[in-house]
Amino acid sequence: MDLRGIFRSAQTWSAQEVRDFLQREHPEDYLLLDVSRPEEYREGHLPGARSAPLEDLEDKLTRLASGKPVIVYGGSALRSLAAVSLLVHAGFSEVHRMEGGLQAWHGNVAAATPAADRDLFSLARSAEEHAVFAWRLEEGTRVFYAEMAERVLDKEAAVLFRELAGAEEHHKATLTALYEGLTGKSAPPDFPAGICQGDGDGVMEGGMLLSEALETARGMQIRQILEMAVRLETNAYDRYLLMRLELEDENARRVFEILSDEERRHLLKLDQLLRHFI
């Protein structure tokens, strides 16, 4: 197939067209590939995007479902165009390239945090350990939101932070139930202490330490606190999107599907309130 045939087989979409597609379709019904370099992916990527650096993409093709629509973007037009060529030649029939890359995406992006090296999920070896580590992150985030609800003077923001703290408590109950379903035994009274290796106490969604977040938020204006919350929820949304795609246990996938949908709703509420302060 020549270049003209390749680009007839692939469509170039604007960032808005990609956004509309992602909001309309189920995450398991498409592939979202970031073909930029790994360090660029860590700096920022679309929530749910899989890292597929161009130099490694050919080796990964056999592990990708060729029957699904594919959306590709990267750090440069040349990288995404080269990725399109590889995918079309490999038999992918519906390939879309996001024009302008991440620079054209005026919305929330997920990124590694300063504490990403403390990412608990790198220690997880099973679905139940993923549930335990997620529980710990939900608890850290719950404490953060409860503290912000007490600190902020804006009544609407305080109500939202209390609502988010309550939602994190609900997520913890869901994850406890998942752990019990996966293991076939009741969670111990001190759950999740002692379940698996790694000290997850005081860590929040996105890998940030709770103590660091509380100290950073001290003296911040309400807009800055909301922006921090958006970053936390974006990273949580990204994490759960990927887990719902990668975990093999069907029950675990379903739980993280529910959690990712709820994190997305949290993002929408935070974004809506944040607009009042911009």
**pLDDT (tens digit, 0 to 9) for every residue of the chain, 278 residues total?**
444 444 445 689 999 999 999 989 988 899 999 999 999 998 899 999 999 999 999 888 888 877 899 999 987 888 898 999 899 888 888 999 999 988 899 888 887 654 444 455 666 778 888 898 889 889 999 999 999 999 999 999 999 999 999 999 999 999 999 999 999 999 988 888 766 555 555 888 777 788 989 999 998 999 999 999 998 899 889 989 988 888 888 989 999 999 999 999 999 999 999 998 87
**Long-range own/partner contacts, residues 62-67 (CB < 8 A, 24 or more apart):** 64/31, 64/92, 65/31, 66/90, 66/91, 66/92, 66/93, 67/93
Q: Any residues with CB less than 8 A from the CB of 151 and at least 6 apart, and which?
A: 217, 225
* The two domains 3-104 and 116-277 share their CATH topology (first three levels equal): no
Where does residue 157 fall: left (phi above 0), alpha (psi -120 to 50 degrees), or beta otherwise?
alpha
Query: What string of H, E and C letters represents the secondary structure of 41-76?
Result: HHHCECCCCEECCHHHHHHHHHHCCCCCCEEEECCC
Q: Give the three-state DSSP class for 2.
A: coil
Q: What is the SS3 assignment for 10?
A: strand
- Give the Cα separation of 238 and 230 in Å (integer): 12
- Which stretches does DSSP call E strand in the chain? 10-13, 31-34, 50-51, 70-73, 95-98
Residue 246 burial (CB count, 10 A): 12
DSSP state of 110: B
Domain coordinates in residue numbering, the chain: 3-104, 116-277
Residue range 116-277 in CATH 1.20.1260.10: yes
The alpha carbon of residue 86 and the mean position of all alpha carbons in its chain are separated, in whole angstroms, by: 26
Architecture, CATH, for domain 3-104: 3-Layer(aba) Sandwich (3.40)
